Amino acid sequence: MLMSSILLLLVSGSGQPSPASERGTAAPVAFGTTIAGTDRALVARPEGVDWRPYGNAGYDAIAVGDRIEVSVTLREIGDSSPFSPPQLSKEATPLEKIAHKQTAGARTHYEASARILNWVSRNIQYELDRTKAQDAETVLQRRTAYCTGIARLTVALFASVGIPSREVPGVVFDGRFAGLHRWVEHRLPESGWVFSDPLASHFWVPATYLRLDSGALDTQGPPRHHEMLARQDDTSPVDVHALGPHWILARANRPEQQAPALEVVLDGAPIAHARLRGGGREHVARLHRGRAVFVGLEPASYTLHVEPQQTGHDERLRMTTARKLDISDNVRHAVRLVGRDRALEPFKTSGGGEIALSGVRKAREGQ
């Protein structure tokens, strides 16, 4: 991706953080966010439905006594299998024509499936109306559906270009509550089966998603005894991607970084906002557990401000938050507020990047 094409306006005039920044992420508007890490959830075994242990590329659900543990691991998929769609017939349906048009020129199965997921996420609106037909052709014509219709259309588009796929019945947990849901699973030749929720997450689903073995789900009334008991979400944004709208969280295929990223870690004051100004933009993120990540940056000189949001934190922090940072190259950078004087210390990351600090001495923990 050309750097000149990555123009991310996270805050424009209003100075308000983007919605995704509430989880410590300054999310791009023009492009989706690539994430990595792990997510784990412990849920009560649902009543009234069939369930059995299941796993695929990045997702595992196992029985732990009378409970279920769901683990999601978001490493790069790493599928480079060449893609060659079947020939489009003269009698092709509108659905088949769209699938072939969207995947034209795709070099790999990952790219082809990403393009189909992207098209669905950009063109189909969610509408919870169970009185309307949810077959793929009707959804395509109407351009609205709830989860069942969205899954059926996505599976039909995959099938039109020879990508094996299927609907996935399940539940999604939200604290002590859960709701019935459907998403999709498709197969990549070198990686196997992988989940996607077309309007939310591509090539993965969170650990709050529990696949059920029942193809037919009872939609009358709320689910019975569906409860999430614990969760540890350690996923984190790492980059941007151009294969989906700004609200889509995607799992990368390769480790190549598309644009610079900056991680800010603040010890001792987990409730704060970080503002990053530079390159004609202002980026805002709320620190989540003392951490915020800015993705989709441009090479430029930036000024970082960290603003505590509660009284009682060290007042010296307010006086020492403005820092000059020079960010270059498509790598992941990291910067940390550590030590008694709260100076910023650069440290190398797995991406090999290091921030060049202007006029700030290094500090270490406990100094």
Which tokens hold the place of 85? Answer: 């769609």
Across 349-366, average pLDDT: 31
What is the pairing mode between strands 192-196 and 177-188? antiparallel
**Secondary structure of 170-227 as H, E, C letters:** EEEEECCEEEEEEEEEEEECCCEEEEEECCCEECCCCCCEEECCCCCCCCCCCCCCCC
Task: Kindly report, residue by residue over 215-268, the tens digit of the pLDDT.
Answer: 555 554 545 567 889 999 999 899 998 877 888 999 999 988 889 999 888 776
Q: Facing residues of 36 across strands?
A: 236
Domains of the chain, start order: 3-30+260-357 (2.60.40), 35-235 (3.10.620)
The overall average pLDDT reported for the chain is 79
Helix (H) or strand (E) holding 26: strand 25-26
Total Cβ atoms within 10 A of residue 177: 13
For position 227, what pLDDT does the model report? 83
Across 282-287, average pLDDT: 86
Which tokens hold the place of 237? Answer: 């944004």
For position 5, what pLDDT does the model report? 23
SS3 content of the chain, % helix, strand, coil (to 5): 15, 35, 45
Helices 147-160 and 109-123: crossing angle, nearest 10°? 140
Q: SS3 of 345, please? A: strand
Residue 232: exposure state from Cβ atoms within 10 A (0-12, 13-18, ≥19): exposed
Task: Kindly report, residue by residue over 142-198, the tens digit of the pLDDT.
Answer: 999 999 999 999 999 999 999 999 999 999 998 777 888 999 999 999 999 999 999
Half-sphere exposure of 342 (CA within 13 A, CB side): 20
Q: What is the DSSP string of 152-170?
A: HHHHHHHHHTT--EEEEEE
Q: Cα–chain-centroid distance for residue 76? A: 13
Q: What percent of the chain has pLDDT over 90?
A: 49
Gap between the Cα atoms of 239 and 293, Å rounded:
10
Q: Cα–chain-centroid distance for residue 3? A: 21
Across 10-36, average pLDDT: 46
Gap between the Cα atoms of 307 and 315, Å rounded:
10
Phi, psi of 4 (to 5 degrees): -65, -20
Task: Kindly report, residue by residue over 81-97, the tens digit of the pLDDT.
Answer: 999 999 999 999 999 99
For the whole prediction, is pTM greater than 0.75?
Answer: yes
Phi, psi of 264 (to 5 degrees): -115, 125
